[in-house]
Amino acid sequence: MGIFSEEVNRVLREAGWTPDRQINAEPWLAAFESEGLQRNPVVSAFLAEFGGLAVHISGPGISRAREPFEFNPMLCLGEEDRFLEWGEEIKKSIFPVGVHDEGRFFLGIDECGELYLIETWVASFGRMPEAMGNLILGVQPSVINDGSI
C-alpha cells in the first residue's frame, strides 16, 4: 500500500507488519458483505496487509495525541448501519476496518483508499499511504461532516 516514513515503518513493524504481509481477509469481508457492505479491491488489499494488527501508541502527536488502534473489522460488528449511512451521506463506499482509541471510534476505508474516523460524525485521515502516517503520527483528521445535518 505504499512506502512509509521511518517512524511509521517502525511502529507498524512493532505491531507485526511486514511489507510483504498477506493474511486471509475473506472471513471479515464475507461477514460484512452479508450485512450489505460492499467489498472492493482496495479494502481487500488493505485488510490482507494490515488486518489483525494492534498498534499500541500514546503520547503527543503532531496535532493531536497519538492513540492506539486495531485493524480488526469484527470490532465493528453491529455498526454496519453507521458505515452504510455515512457512506451514503458522503457518496463513498466505506468498509469497516477496525477501531481507534480503544473502541471509542471506528475506522473505515473507501474504494479510493481514504481512511475514515467514524462516530456520530465522520473525519478523514487522508488516502493511503499518507493516511497511515497521519494515524500513527497523531495528525488531526479533517472533519467531513460533523453530524449536524
Mean pLDDT of 48-71: 97
- Provide the pLDDT for residue 2: 53
The neighbouring-strand residues paired with 122 are: 118, 145
Reported as a pLDDT band with limits 50, 70 and 90, residue 1 is very low
Domain boundary assignment for the chain: 6-145
- Provide the pLDDT for residue 3: 84
Average pLDDT, rounded, for the chain = 94
Q: Strand 54-55 vs strand 142-145: parallel, antiparallel, or unpaired?
A: unpaired
In the predicted model, is pLDDT for residue 146 greater than 90?
no
- Greatest Cα pair distance, the chain, in angstroms, is 42
Prediction pTM value: 0.94
DSSP string, 19-87: TT-----HHHHHHHHTTTPPP-HHHHHHHHHHTT-EE---S--SSS----EE--GGGGTT-HHHHHHHH
Q: Residues of 17-54 as b/e, b for ≥16 C-beta within 10 angstroms?
A: beeeeeeebeebbebbeeeebebbebbbbbbbbbbbbe
Taking phi over 0 as left and psi of -120 to 50 as alpha, with beta for the rest, 120 belongs to: alpha
- Provide the pLDDT for residue 132: 97
Mean pLDDT of 116-130: 95
Mean pLDDT of 120-149: 91
